[in-house]
Amino acid sequence: MEYVRVLAFASLLFASSLLGLFGQSIGKVLGVEAGYGYIVSSADLNPRSSSGLVAGLRYGYLILDEPSMSAVLSLALGYDAFPQGAGSMPLQALVYGLEYEHTLFRRSPVALSLEYGLLFDLLFEGDRQGYAYGNHTRLGLGPDFRLGPKDDLVLLADYNMVDMPYFELSSGGFGFPSIALRYQMRL
């Protein structure tokens, strides 16, 4: 029985040494963004003033890092606020989920970023009791300006689609384009 423990311990040491020799550390990316959104379509919402602010934080992992392109898978946390989203009541959303950003032409001073997000929204509306959950899909692209070896400034134009059971209604949703400026840095 003792030889099984010794063999298991030796295997563990061998495997950990192989991982140390051949393993590669994964790069991390941190980003913060702020921008503007405008509701252009809505089901079961009657926006009186459909413009609002969007903000977000990203913490991501470089899953592809080559000189000509990169890909980042991020955990996203954001906040959308439309001051008069439904009639005279404010519409607010806490946004969270995953985003995938692919950057092309990284060797040039201005690269191209494409992003896709699968997110969830926790929506609050004015003086209504409770909240609604929504499925949020985000598609975007924009120029990526390299500020240094680890810093980027990305101007993203996104289209956001939110589908939700809307409070006492069976379904609802809204769509809005947004434009945001994101500062991101590699850690």
Say if 5 falls within a structural domain.
Answer: no
- Which pTM does this prediction carry? 0.78
Q: What range defines the domain where residue 107 resides?
A: 26-186
CATH of the domain at 182: 2.40.160.20
Report the 10 Å Cβ neighbour count for 74. 23
Evaluate if residue 171 carries a pLDDT over 80.
no
Contact 81, 90 (CB under 8 A): yes
Predicted confidence at residue 21, as pLDDT, reads: 47
Would you tell me how many other CB atoms lie within 10 Å of the CB of residue 34? 12
Q: How many domains does the chain have?
A: 1
Q: Quick check: 106 and 67 in contact, CB under 8 A?
A: yes
**Segment 76-132, tens digit of pLDDT:** 999 999 886 555 567 888 999 999 999 999 888 899 999 999 999 988 877 667 777
- pLDDT tens figures, 99-110: 999 999 988 889
Task: Tell me whether residue 4 is in a domain.
Answer: no
**80, part of any domain:** yes
Residue pair 46/87 in contact (Cβ under 8 Å)? The answer is yes
Q: Tell whether 33 is covered by a domain.
A: yes
> For residue 126, is it within any domain?
yes
**106 Cβ partners below 8 Å, 6+ apart?**
66, 67, 68, 69, 70, 146
